[in-house]
Chain A
Amino acid sequence: NAGVTQTPKFRILKIGQSMTLQCTQDMNHNYMYWYRQDPGMGLKLIYYSVGAGITDKGEVPNGYNVSRSTTEDFPLRLELAAPSQTSVYFCASSLTSGRQSYNEQFFGPGTRLTVL
């Protein structure tokens, strides 16, 4: 299994440009997550999905959109890039979540995004 894969690994955007960060997992996990990680800060949840067709906002959703058309894929869309979105973005997945079970999250390698 490849686990969680993300593309691209690096990207530089100009202010106002748009792009999609790709995330794919091959573990048949129901839950998928997008985080951003800023220096000195913990991981902040942007959006998450509990299954195909279902998404919900996390702590910092503004400026981002997601979709979950399949179990495997969970792309993150930036519509109008701003310097504040300069960050490292991680996609993660887990089999389940919540109090019914306590599954660990598996992370992709990350995408380093710079907005100039």
Chain B
Amino acid sequence: ILNVEQSPQSLHVQEGDSTNFTCSFPSSNFYALHWYRWETAKSPEALFVMTLNGDEKKKGRISATLNTKEGYSYLYIKGSQPEDSATYLCAPDSNYQLIWGAGTKLIIKP
């Protein structure tokens, strides 16, 4: 079973500022790295699925990078908006199962 760590656990960011947070995991035995966005009272929704070392994905103001050799991924949010407030989950895909981190809870202050 992989041990997935996300940091920080929670983060308060001023509206308009950019921010980033980390997902770290053992660098072997995984096939892909998933990022999900989970708004309060809703269900997790997929942001990115990343498969290659050096892979970089972008969706609007949100982007992510992956370093498979050292076992980490960063999620970046540029110019934070109130609608970015959510918990961001990462999950390495290992042996047909996703192993979920506990998430980073992002709160955007107006």
A residues near B, CB below 8 A?
Answer: 31, 35, 40-45, 48, 50, 58-59, 90, 97-99, 102-110
B89 at interface, CB cutoff 8 A: yes
Instruction: Identify the B interface with A (CB < 8 A).
Output: 1, 4, 31-32, 34, 42-46, 49, 51, 89, 91, 93, 95-103
Chain B contact surface mostly:
loop
Q: In the complex, A108→B98 CA distance in Å?
A: 16
Which B residues touch A107, using CB under 8 A?
43-45
Is A40 a contact of B102 with CB atoms below 8 Å? yes
Q: Are B49 and A104 in contact (CB under 8 A)?
A: yes
Q: A102 to B96, Cβ gap below 8 A?
A: no
Whether the pair B43, A102 counts as a contact (CB closer than 8 A) is: no
Q: Which of B43, B96, B99, B101 contacts A97 (CB 8 A)?
A: B96
CB-CB under 8 A for A97 and B49, given A41-B102, A90-B43, A102-B31: no
Give the Cβ gap from A58 to chain B, nearest Cβ, in Å: 7
A92, chain B: closest CB distance, angstroms: 8
Nearest-Cβ distance from residue B98 to partner chain A, whole angstroms: 7
List 18 additional contacts besides A48-B96, A102-B34, A104-B49; criterion CB under 8 Å: A41-B102, A42-B4, A42-B100, A42-B103, A43-B89, A45-B98, A50-B96, A59-B1, A90-B44, A97-B93, A97-B96, A102-B31, A102-B51, A104-B34, A105-B34, A105-B98, A107-B44, A109-B43
